Amino acid sequence: MPTPHRPPPASRRALRKLGEDIRAARLRRKLPMDIVAQRAATSRPTIARIEKGDPGVSVGILASVLQALNLLENLAEVADPSKDTTAQNILFEELPKRASGPRKRNRNVKVSDDG
């Protein structure tokens, strides 16, 4: 069942590309949709929807299909902080512009003439 929410164009393009890539991976492995569906515990029409980039397919089913194709590890890397260049740039911009050590106190010590 399609989702009532219509994702923005960039999201739809990304889902279409993901679907095309999943289809290509399935074909490179010479696996028919029926076999992938069985391994992913889903149906053949759902595999077809994924390959078309349907945004209504759940992430859980998508993960099952990726696992059936031995590609699940790639999903785990999608939001990896070490690869998040936007966040890294923000953190870099928040760094101080100059490095300074601890401030030294000015200790003017009076020497008494009491002797």
* 0.85 surpassed by pTM: no
CA distance 23 to 19: 6
CA distance 24 to 43: 18
Q: What is the largest CA-CA distance in the chain?
A: 101
Q: Measured on CA atoms in the order 7, 47, 57, 75, is the torsion positive or negative? A: negative
Residue 64: CATH number of its domain = 1.10.260.40
Q: Classify residue 100: in a domain, yes or no.
A: no
Q: How many domains does the chain have?
A: 1
4-47 pLDDT, tens digit per residue, is 678 999 999 999 999 999 999 999 999 999 999 999 999 999 99
| Cα–Cα–Cα angle for 20, 21, 23, rounded to 5 degrees | 65
- Among the residue ranges 26-30, 46-50, 53-57, 109-113, the one predicted with the least confidence is 109-113
